Amino acid sequence: MSQTTADDRLIVAMDVPDALAGLKLAEQLGDAVSFYKIGLGMLTGGGLALANEMKQELGKRIFLDMKLFDIGATVESAVRGLAQFDLDFLTVHGDPYVVKAAKEGAAGKEMKILAVTILTSLDRADLDGALIKPGAIRDLVQERAGNAFAAGADGVIASPQEAALIRALPEATGKLIVTPGVRPAGADVGDQKRVATPASAIADGADHIVVGRPIWKSENPRAAAQAILQELSSPQAQQPNRS
C-alpha cells in the first residue's frame, strides 16, 4: 500500500457514476490528492468497494458521505458495519440522538463521526418548505453544531459561510469543521447556494474543504486540484483566530 503526502485539507468529491470512473479520476489526480469523498450517489455503483480499495490499496484517506438518519438502533448498527472498513470520516444527520447512536456504532474505531448541520444546497425558503423553525440559517447552523458537539460528534459539516461562527463556539475546540460548497473564484456554483473560495473557507476555520465538479469536470483535473492546493498554501488561507 502506497502512502500519499498531499495536503489533505483538500477533499475531492467523487461525484462520478461508478467505481471505474472513480478509479480513473484517482489515477488522473495521482499523488496530488490524498483525500476523497464517496457519497450516496455512488452506493449502487460500487462505492463501498471503491472506498475499501482506495483506502487499503492506494493509501488514500476516505470520507464516506452517507448522511445517515434513522432510529438510533438502526444508525448504530449501520455505523458499526461501516466502521469495519477503517475509513476516516462518516456523516450522519446532526440530531443529537443520531450522533450519539453513531458514536456508539463507531466505538473502538478511528473513524470520525461528522454531523450534518444544514445542507449547503438549502436556503431559508427550502427550510420553510420543510417546516424547520424560523430563524437565520447561520443561527440555526451554529445551534445545531453546538448540539451535535455536545452529543459527541467529532466534527460537523457546514457551509464555509458559517465556519467562523462554529469555530467560535467553546464546544468546537479540538473538533473538525468540513466545508462543502467551496468553489474557486469564477467557478460555476452549480446546486450550491452558500459558497466561498478555498482560501476564505480555511481562513474562517474549516479544517477540510470538499471540492467536486470544479475538479472532475475540468479538462485537466490534476491541474485544477493543484491550483486549489496552491491557493490553500497562500497567506490568505491562514487561520489567525483558530482556537
d(CA 102, CA 100): 5
Q: How far is CA 206 from CA 71, 73, 100, in A?
A: 30, 31, 23
User: If we measure between CA atoms, which residue out of 85, 204, 88, 207 comes closest to residue 157?
Assistant: 207
**Residues 99, 151: contact at Cβ < 8 Å?**
yes
DSSP tally for the chain: helices H, then strands E: 10, 8
| φ, ψ (nearest 5 deg) of residue 94 | -80, 5
| φ, ψ (nearest 5 deg) of residue 103 | -65, -35
60 annotated active-site: no
How close are the terminal C-alpha atoms of the chain, in Å?
35
Catalytic option among 24, 37, 60, 67 = 67
Dihedral angle computed from the Cα positions of residues 138, 142, 144 and 145, in that order, rounded to the nearest 10 degrees: 130
d(CA 99, CA 105): 10
d(CA 24, CA 15): 13
Dihedral angle computed from the Cα positions of residues 27, 30, 32 and 35, in that order, rounded to the nearest 10 degrees: 60
Catalytic residues: 67
